[in-house]
Amino acid sequence: MRGIERAAIDSGDISEVELMERAGQAVVDAIMSEWPGLAQGPGRAVVLCGPGGNGGDGFVVARLLKEAGWQVRVLFAGVAGGLPAHAAEMHRRWTEIGTVEALSEDNFRSEAPPDLIVDAIFGIGLARPLEGDVARLIAYLGGSGEEAEYLQDRTVAIDAPSGLCLDSGRLIGQKSERSWEGRPMRAALTVTFEGAKVGHFLGLGPELCGRLAVMDIGLARWHPAVIPDQSSGRMSNIQRVVSKPLDRSGDEETAPLARARVRMESELDQLQKPQHGGAHKFDSGHALVLGGGSNKGGAARLAARAALRVGAGLVTLACPPEATAENAARLDAIMLSPLANAADLKALLQDRRITALCLGPGLGVARAHEMLPEVLSWKKRTVIDADALTALAEAPDLFKRLHWDCVLTPHGGEFAKLFPDIAEKLSAVPMTGPAYSKIDATREASARANCVVLFKGADTVISRRGGVCTVSAAAYGRAAPWLATAGAGDVLAGFVLGLLARRRMPMEAAEVASWLHVEAARSFGPGLIAEDLAEELPKVFRAIGL
């Protein structure tokens, strides 16, 4: 975003002062759109301004509200002489019509609660812990109880609730949201400009930001190939990020951003094929799921059915002979193959029609240890999940044999087993910004594993070697808290498997599977159990025009 703004300013077509005016007006517009009642008559507002550009935006908002007849108080955490030039100009314009008070809890509480609070203390680029009067006021505003909830319901944050690192979705200087005397700033509405930032989707971002409004301030001509259209189409729910700052010279590092929508639509469209007459089931791939013993087959069955629903032409569940009858009683379209040991697996994998394999769900760690050497020697598209991840973490020699056609699908605990040093960095208290993020961790893990890593969670992050990375977040309008149910991860593994079986590349298979996983949950709604996810896919496909 800094690069985009700098490109616009360097062009000579717009000044920093004009950009700040536009940002302030956009915040006021977003407020009135969110709460139409506030536009019916002037109210009382407190604007909290910080010592940088975010504070400058706050001075603009304060002036615009006062010019509209509002009673406005400005609490300022800084001195006018320390402001950047464009923010200092906005401070000057405000002081021509209003006064400035020191930002403190006592000053805030000196009058009755306002109708509106604007948090313009810190936004993008926070690099240090909050302290002093700022920390104490935020702890008060973020507290619990009836009064705090009243204030939070009326708080608007510019770019981010103060204290939130927008590079990571973490809190600088805090291990968790409960580390302060109170709680961090929570907003009912967060207003940001031109495009959402990754910290809005990672970690605590969705919880602290409330509703997210992305406002246009006229910079589209400087970034048409960089920020995907977030207002329409399938890519509206995928935030693709790259590691390098914006380079307007056409650096290939930014190419995934420009191609993101095309790639997503291409992968989803593949779900329709083959459409030509006389197509054979093997044209859509043959997926193999390795199952566990008796009374442990539910997870493998979930994965197998998900692979079939997502479009694999054939799915075989290979399980110990003693579990065959149990699985046969629960499955119809899924084929079964008795598989006693690794030698049987080696023989089965001679079938060249098998295009992808999944092992882990309900497999058992001991059986995963036995099967992994044969699977990794096969060197074809493979999903490694659940018990197989635990086995992989316990066998460094096998970990070294991972290849680029593998997809690892760990949740937080499994990630910590596989990459303990990376997980330690991710859990350490960040004292400076930008904080080490889930994006950083997943990129580092995929580089070490030499394959795709799908790090699960509400803020799922997917990365392949080389650092290309996607954040697929179940947040804001895509929130699906009921997806936190037993077996949902097994279904996700099956979705990845089915797409791999259809000969999709591992990164794209992981991206599309993650997107469909959330869409299926949202389509079904509350009351969801894991078995519902795959059965909801036909409705999702129809909704997106497949």
- Answer whether residue 390 shows pLDDT above 60: yes
| Mean pLDDT of the chain, nearest integer | 89
* Position 125 confidence tier, pLDDT thresholds 50, 70, 90: confident
- Tell me the residue length of the chain: 546
* Position 260 confidence tier, pLDDT thresholds 50, 70, 90: very low
Same domain, 160 and 300: no
Pairing mode of beta strands 469-473, 239-241 = antiparallel
Same domain, 205 and 97: yes
pLDDT value, residue 185: 87
Range of weakest confidence among 67-71, 273-277, 416-420: 273-277
End-to-end CA distance of the chain: 35
Range of the domain at 203: 2-229
Euclidean distance between CA atoms 35 and 256, whole angstroms: 37
Residue listed under structure tokens 């589209």: 220
pLDDT tens by residue, 468-484:
999 999 999 999 999 99
pLDDT value, residue 235: 31
3-state DSSP helix/strand/coil percent for the chain, to nearest 5? 45, 15, 40
Euclidean distance between CA atoms 285 and 501, whole angstroms: 5
Euclidean distance between CA atoms 52 and 50, whole angstroms: 6
pLDDT value, residue 271: 57
More confident residue, 315 or 219: 315
Euclidean distance between CA atoms 150 and 134, whole angstroms: 20
Range of weakest confidence among 106-110, 239-243, 380-384: 239-243
Pairing mode of beta strands 44-49, 116-120 = parallel
The CATH number linked to 420 is 3.40.1190.20
Residue 276 sits at φ, ψ, to 5 deg, of: -70, 155
* Residue at a domain's end among 194, 229, 264: 229
Q: Which of 88-97, 235-244, 270-279 has the highest mean pLDDT?
A: 88-97
The residue-averaged pLDDT of 384-391 equals 98
Euclidean distance between CA atoms 369 and 392, whole angstroms: 8
Distances (CA, A) of 119 to 56, 57, 62, 272, 393: 12, 10, 11, 48, 45
On whether residue 264 sits in a domain, the answer given is: no
The residue-averaged pLDDT of 266-279 equals 54
Euclidean distance between CA atoms 57 and 502, whole angstroms: 50
Same domain, 224 and 289: no
pLDDT value, residue 249: 35
Same domain, 14 and 157: yes
Q: Which of 5-19, 212-226, 238-252, 483-497 has the highest mean pLDDT?
A: 483-497
On whether residue 290 sits in a domain, the answer given is: yes
- Answer whether residue 229 shows pLDDT above 50: no
Euclidean distance between CA atoms 430 and 277, whole angstroms: 58
**Closest among 433, 16, 449 to 441, alpha carbons compared:** 449
pLDDT value, residue 467: 87
On whether residue 317 sits in a domain, the answer given is: yes
Same domain, 286 and 184: no
Same domain, 299 and 399: yes
- Answer whether residue 226 shows pLDDT above 50: no
Is 98 strand, coil or helix?
A: coil
Name the helix (H) or strand (E) containing 520. helix 506-524
What is the CA angle 326-329-330, rounded to 5? 95
**Closest among 530, 510, 512, 511 to 521, alpha carbons compared:** 530
The residue-averaged pLDDT of 329-358 equals 96
- Answer whether residue 238 shows pLDDT above 50: no
pLDDT tens by residue, 197-211:
999 999 999 999 999
On whether residue 503 sits in a domain, the answer given is: yes
- From the CA atom positions of the chain, what is the Rg in Å? 26
pLDDT value, residue 3: 84
What share of the chain has pLDDT > 90, as a percent? 76
The tokens describing 20, both together, are: 């700040």
On whether residue 433 sits in a domain, the answer given is: no
* Residue at a domain's end among 197, 212, 229: 229
- Answer whether residue 278 shows pLDDT above 50: no
- Answer whether residue 253 shows pLDDT above 70: no
pLDDT value, residue 36: 93
Euclidean distance between CA atoms 13 and 20, whole angstroms: 14
Contacts of 509 (CB under 8 A, 6+ apart): 267, 381, 407, 496, 499, 500
pLDDT tens by residue, 169-192:
999 887 554 444 446 889 999 999
Same domain, 297 and 196: no
* Residue at a domain's end among 168, 200, 229: 229
pLDDT value, residue 252: 34
- DSSP state for residue 252 in the 8-state scheme: G
On whether residue 378 sits in a domain, the answer given is: yes
Same domain, 206 and 312: no
What share of the chain has pLDDT > 70, as a percent? 87
* Position 24 confidence tier, pLDDT thresholds 50, 70, 90: very high
pLDDT value, residue 435: 93
Same domain, 417 and 315: yes
Tell me the β-bridge partners of 77. none
**Closest among 103, 220, 229, 241 to 166, alpha carbons compared:** 241
The CATH number linked to 48 is 3.40.50.10260
Euclidean distance between CA atoms 83 and 76, whole angstroms: 11
**Closest among 95, 86, 97, 32 to 56, alpha carbons compared:** 86
pLDDT value, residue 143: 83
Name the helix (H) or strand (E) containing 330. helix 324-330
pLDDT value, residue 227: 42
pLDDT tens by residue, 426-471:
999 899 989 999 999 999 999 999 999 999 999 999 999 888 999 9
The residue-averaged pLDDT of 141-158 equals 91
Same domain, 200 and 305: no
Euclidean distance between CA atoms 275 and 285, whole angstroms: 14
Same domain, 286 and 225: no
Is 533 strand, coil or helix?
A: helix
**Closest among 361, 442, 433, 529 to 167, alpha carbons compared:** 433
- Answer whether residue 276 shows pLDDT above 70: no
- Answer whether residue 294 shows pLDDT above 60: yes
Cβ burial, residue 246 (10 Å; 0-12/13-18/19+)? buried
pLDDT value, residue 280: 62
Q: What is the 3-state secondary structure (H, E, C) of 180-203?
A: CCCCCCCCCEEEEECCCCHHHCCC
pLDDT value, residue 268: 59
Q: For the chain, how many structural domains are there in total?
A: 2
On whether residue 260 sits in a domain, the answer given is: no
Instruction: Answer yes or no: are the C-beta atoms of 187 and 152 closer than 8 Å.
Output: yes
Same domain, 224 and 295: no
